[in-house]
Structure formats: C-alpha cells, structure tokens
A and B are shown apart, each in its own frame.
Chain A
Amino acid sequence: MPRTLNHSYPELVEKAQKLFWVKGYKSVSPEELAEHLEVSKSTIYNKYTRDMLFMDSLKGYVVDLSDPILEQVRNSDKGIEAFRDFFYMIVDGLLEKSFPKSCFMVNTVVELRNEKEQITELYERYFGNMRKTHRTVLETAIKKGEIKYPERIEEYTECMVGVLFSLSILYKVKSREELRTYVDEQISLLV
C-alpha cells in the first residue's frame, strides 16, 4: 500500500527549504530529501521532485522572507541609518543563526551559476529588488541632506549592494564587532 502523505505540499516545501538552505542543491540527494521530509522515495521521484521542491523553497525565500524585509527597509524614513539597521540586522541574524546560513539566493547562484534558467530569472527579480531598495534608501538620505555627493548615487547603490553581499562570506570568519566596524566604515564613505 502506498504511504499516505502526512503533509501538505507547502509544509513539505518549508521543511525542504531548511535542508537546501544549509546544504545547497547538489549535495541533497533525492534519497536524503525523502528521508528528511518523511515521505517515500517514489513521492520524490514521481510526485514532488527535488527540482520542484528546490525551486519552490527558493521562491519562498525570495517572496516570503527577502521581499518583505526589503520593503520594510525601503519604507524607512531614517535615511543613512536605515542601512546601518539593515546591515546590523543581517550580521546579527547570521551570527546568532536565526538565519540558517547566509543568503539562500546568493549561495544558490554561487553553486549553480547559470545552469537553471528558472533560477536565473528568480535571481534577476531578487537582485532588481535589492538594487531598488538600496537606491531608495540613498534617495531618502539625499532628501535628508546626509549624502555629500548626491550625484554619485549610482556608484553608491552598487557599492552598498556589494557590501551586503560581502557579508555573506565575511561573517564566516569575522566577529560581530569586526563586522559592525566594517559596516560603519563603509557607511561613513557615503557622508
């Protein structure tokens, strides 16, 4: 008799996300995935495939986690301090492990590069939003008169996005204090 499914699909995706986020895509075999999700191997081979669960885990990360945080950052009226709050929040989250690991989306790109078109499309959406957020924060800061050279906004946007992503490696070897100083020094280049 086939094993009945104890979980709804969204629940399975949520569970799968935890595994993929930590281990990446290629390291998780269909067998390991089945075991982790407590479903039969045939469920993974025939019904909810590894590809499908991975894609939906990643979409969930972008839509339910990354997008809302970025929206909050964009809506802040704090200007330059919004960067500090945001970057500190990321540093704390990484060091306290409230995120299982650094950005799921960026780690996926480092692992899979352009191999899967669907992922590249999702990344473009994610990255566009990331850029827009940093730019919006800079525009607010400019309105508040905090930025010394407003005409350099494009360059600043690029650099601040870069700082965020450099944290995704630096947190692995640096202390909270070092990371905060790093963030502070980068922000001070804007003013």
Chain B
Amino acid sequence: MRYKEFNSNKVLETCINLFWNTSFGGCSVKEIVTETGVNRFSLYDEWEHKEGILLASIDLYQQRYSQEKFKILESEGDLREVLTKFYMSFMIDEKTHPSGCYIIRIATELADNNIDVKNKLDRYLNELEHQFKTFISNYSESNKNIDYLAKHLTGLFCSLTTFCVIHSFEERKSLVNSGISMLLKNSTHHATHA
C-alpha cells in the first residue's frame, strides 16, 4: 500500500469550496489537482473518479456542517425561537462557506440526472425531517401534527436555501418568520422537556 501523503478531509474541504463556487460540471480534475495540491493518481486512488470525490464531499459536509446546525434542534427553548435560530444558521455567510446549503446547491445542479446525488439529497432531507420530528415531539403536539409540521418545515428549508440566497438578511428572516408562524398558528407550544 502506498503511503498517503494527504489528509482526505482537508482535500474534501477544498473540493466543497471548489464545487460550491465553480459548480461540479465546470470544475476540471486539473483544477482539483491545482487547488488541493494532490496529484491525480492519488486522488483516483482514494476516490476512484471525480464523482467519487463529489459524493465523499457531500458526506463530509453533512457530517461536519449540517450536523452541527441540526444540533440547534436539540436545544431547549421556545419552539419558534429555536426553529428561527436553526434556519438562520444556514442563512449567514461564514468564513468558510457562503450562506445556503452545499447539498441543496449540488442537488440543484445534478440531482435530476445523477442517481447518487439524488439519493444523497433524499437521505439528507429525510434526516432533516426526522430531526424536526424529534424536536417537535418535545412540545405538546399530537403525532399526526408532528409528521405534518416536520414535512412542511422541511419544505421551508428547501425554499430558504434556494431563492433566498441572494435576498437580504431581513428578507430571509421575514420568510422564516412568516413560514413558521403560518405553520404554527393552530398549535400550542408549551415545552415539555423532562
């Protein structure tokens, strides 16, 4: 076995930025080599092909960045406030990434024709919906209402991470508020954390 001279996750981090900014299709392997400083044979040795790098980068993003934001849904507090905080965590430009969501960005480009990307998107949205369910079940909601709310909160996530990426901060916040209050208008929200 060859000695690996690079840190896989570090390479994938660079690729997340690269694909996010230049699109997957618009980025050549040559650019990946230049940006990561890893030669093409080593890249192929690790991930087989360019698409292998992409799929691994999606997994890393989900583990490293989305999970951290999903954790907001584990915090206690007013239902609306926690939800707003969660959504807005995707809506702020960060040092490493622009606002929005990498997985939604890549899925917009590729999920229609690439089954692997489509499956990653599906898994991601299911995971998000599951997180919403767990979160809402801490509040006094009926089971039927939990499923319903989780589905529509996931829908709200999709609209926020698409067109909203070029809207102003206030407009993003306004959509979050309207979306949440429309869904919650019929529910009562007393936290029942143990």
Inter-chain contact A113/B165, CB cutoff 8 Å: yes
Inter-chain contact A101/B166, CB cutoff 8 Å: no
Q: Is the interface of B mostly helix, strand, loop or mixed?
A: helix
Inter-chain contact A106/B182, CB cutoff 8 Å: no
- Which of B23, B148, B151, B158 is close to A111, meaning CB atoms less than 8 Å apart? B23
- Number of B residues with CB within 8 Å of any CB on chain A: 41
| A-chain residues with CB within 8 Å of residue B24 when the two chains form the complex | 27
Asked if A151 is at the interface of the complex by the 8 Å CB criterion, the answer is no
Asked if B63 is at the interface of the complex by the 8 Å CB criterion, the answer is no
A-B contact count (CB 8 A): 119
Inter-chain contact A106/B25, CB cutoff 8 Å: no
Knowing A163-B155, A169-B162, A172-B121, the reply to whether A24 touches B109 (Cβ < 8 A) is: yes
| A-chain residues with CB within 8 Å of residue B185 when the two chains form the complex | 189
Inter-chain contact B155/A155, CB cutoff 8 Å: no
CB within 8 Å of B: which A136-191 residues: 154-156, 158-159, 161-166, 168-170, 172-173, 182, 185-186, 189
Inter-chain contact B25/A162, CB cutoff 8 Å: no
Asked if B111 is at the interface of the complex by the 8 Å CB criterion, the answer is yes
Knowing A169-B104, A172-B107, the reply to whether A159 touches B182 (Cβ < 8 A) is: yes
- Report Cα–Cα, A86/B24, bound state, in Å: 32
CB within 8 Å of B: which A47-104 residues: 101-102
Report the minimal beta-carbon distance from A80 to chain B, rounded to whole angstroms. 15
| A-chain residues with CB within 8 Å of residue B23 when the two chains form the complex | 24-27, 111
Q: Give the most central of A123, A163, A168, A169: most B CB within 10 Å.
A: A169
Stretch at the interface among B41-49, B50-58, B68-76, B173-181: B173-181
Inter-chain contact A162/B156, CB cutoff 8 Å: yes
Can you list 15 A-B contacts (CB < 8 A)? A24-B26, A27-B26, A29-B26, A101-B112, A107-B108, A110-B100, A110-B108, A110-B162, A156-B182, A162-B175, A163-B155, A165-B159, A165-B162, A169-B108, A173-B118
Sorted nearest first, the 10 A-B pairs with minimum C-beta distance are A27-B25, A26-B26, A166-B159, A169-B158, A162-B159, A166-B158, A26-B23, A166-B155, A165-B159, A173-B122
Given A27-B25, A27-B26, A109-B165, 18 more contacts at CB 8 Å?
A22-B113, A26-B22, A27-B24, A101-B112, A107-B108, A109-B163, A110-B100, A110-B165, A159-B178, A161-B159, A164-B159, A165-B163, A169-B104, A170-B155, A170-B158, A172-B112, A173-B118, A185-B152
